A and B are shown apart, each in its own frame.
Chain A
Amino acid sequence: MILAQTVAAAGPALDAAPALAAAGDVSVGEQVVFWILAPVALGGAIGMVAARNAVHSALFLVTTMFALAVFYVLQAGPFIGMVQIIVYTGAIMMLFLFVLMLVGREASDSLIETLRGQRMAAIGLGIGFALLVASALTRGLGAVSAQGLEEANRGGNVEGIAAVLFTRYIFAFEVTSALLITAAVGAMVLAHVERPKGMKVSQKERSRARFAEGSYPGMKAGPGVFATSDSVATPALLPDGGESDRSISRVVPARGLTSAEAAPKHTER
């Protein structure tokens, strides 16, 4: 529901974004969107920390990231907002969910606090910190408005970012590319499992094992087949007239039955 709210709020924001932020002064619409989305983002973050289920936690984080993407779009950064949605919610969170599914049943987390009163102290300190930052920033930034954004965004936001990225920050850009390729190789090295050649079971060996002496490759008969009783404790008859032990469930004798009840019921001829 929160997600739908976020997406609904994102719609009008995308259209109005550059005009709102580039105008420099605070518009009412921008403030309204901020006041709606800030609690959504905060709620997502708190839900991420507090959720017991790991998948719920990941989805809460997706909510927060969507809200942040709308913030970026509102602040004259439509490109960075789209990158946030594509890279963070599209790629990174899906990677997280993928690994959560792989790790599987241990994904849920216990939230028992090991230090007494830790949570209350954290909440109190957080509120105090927020008040401190808010008061200091209100005093410092109260009258600041954006300058030069309109000229910078005139040729388009992507062009503006590209102009800065490929001139002033070109060295950082190249270093980032080296970092990315190192990370890709490192992830491959870490995730790769070296398996000795002998351990690998080929299709040939699998097929041999399947038809080996003592294993029956065909379907086994169900209990009661070809017998006069259809009780689950009645073994099926093999083509040669013998009884197939394998057709009786191993669970049947273990269900608190008496030994007479659990014994295979023989077929009367």
Chain B
Amino acid sequence: MHPVIPYVLAALLFGIGGYGVLVRRNAVLLLMAVELMLNAVNLVLVTADATIVGLPHSGQVFALFVIVIAAAEIGVGLAIVLQLYRLRRTVATDSIDAGEGTVLPRAEPMPEPGSAQTGPDQVGAR
């Protein structure tokens, strides 16, 4: 009974993560669901390391690699999400038109923090 609980839990977590990837529209939450799937795989690796006869600690080393790769992936993925937000002012994956060859109109760039304060009213209010 001992190794079965973590394995089944990992399978369920992976399934929930996959469902989250499919159903979420916010790009940040989508990446979080991917993280859940990676965590499920980590749980399988660590459990297998503790229960299956083989080179000891291999599973834990693999889990360590997965964690490192997840950190790298999240760094790049969130940078892409931020760039997307800067360009389109939204992170909803449904509203991004990825049609081939169509150049989408570039949304208004983010207002500079300093530029809004040079109007006469705001200057006077200081």
Contacts and interface: CB of A to CB of B under 8 A. Distances in A.
Interface string B5-16: 111110111011
Given A45-B17, A49-B23, A111-B23, A138 B29 contact: no
A190 B74 CA distance: 13
B96 interface: no
Contacts of B39: 64-65, 68, 88
Contacts of A31: 1-2, 5
B56 A148 contact: yes
Interface in B7-36: 7-9, 11-13, 15-17, 19-20, 23-26, 28-29, 31-33, 35-36
Contacts of B36: 45, 48, 61, 64
A189 to B, nearest CB: 8
B11 to A, nearest CB: 5
A101 to B, nearest CB: 10
Interface size class of A (residues with CB under 8 A): 35 or more
B102 interface: no
A102 B67 CA distance: 24
Contacts of A252: none
Interface size class of B (residues with CB under 8 A): 35 or more
A220 B125 CA distance: 6
Contact of A96 (B55, B65, B74, B121): B74
B74 to A, nearest CB: 5
Interface stretch (A77-85, A223-231, A258-266): A77-85
A115 B16 CA distance: 17
Q: Is the interface of B mostly helix, strand, loop or mixed?
A: helix
A130 B46 contact: no
Given A45-B36, A133-B7, A126 B26 contact: no
A42 interface: yes
A172 interface: yes
Contacts of B63: 72, 77, 80
A183 interface: yes
A124 B100 CA distance: 37
A95 B79 CA distance: 10
A80 B12 CA distance: 21
21 contacts: A42-B9, A48-B36, A72-B42, A84-B67, A92-B71, A95-B75, A99-B78, A99-B81, A103-B81, A122-B19, A130-B12, A144-B3, A148-B56, A160-B56, A164-B55, A176-B69, A180-B71, A182-B72, A183-B72, A186-B79, A220-B125
Interface of A: 21, 26, 30-31, 34-35, 38, 41-42, 45-46, 48-49, 54, 57-58, 61, 64-65, 68, 71-72, 75-77, 79-80, 83-84, 87-88, 91-92, 95-96, 99-100, 102-103, 106-111, 113, 118, 122, 125-126, 129-130, 133-134, 137-138, 141-142, 144-149, 151-153, 160-161, 163-165, 168-169, 172, 176, 179-180, 182-184, 186-188, 190-191, 193, 201, 206, 209-210, 214-220, 246
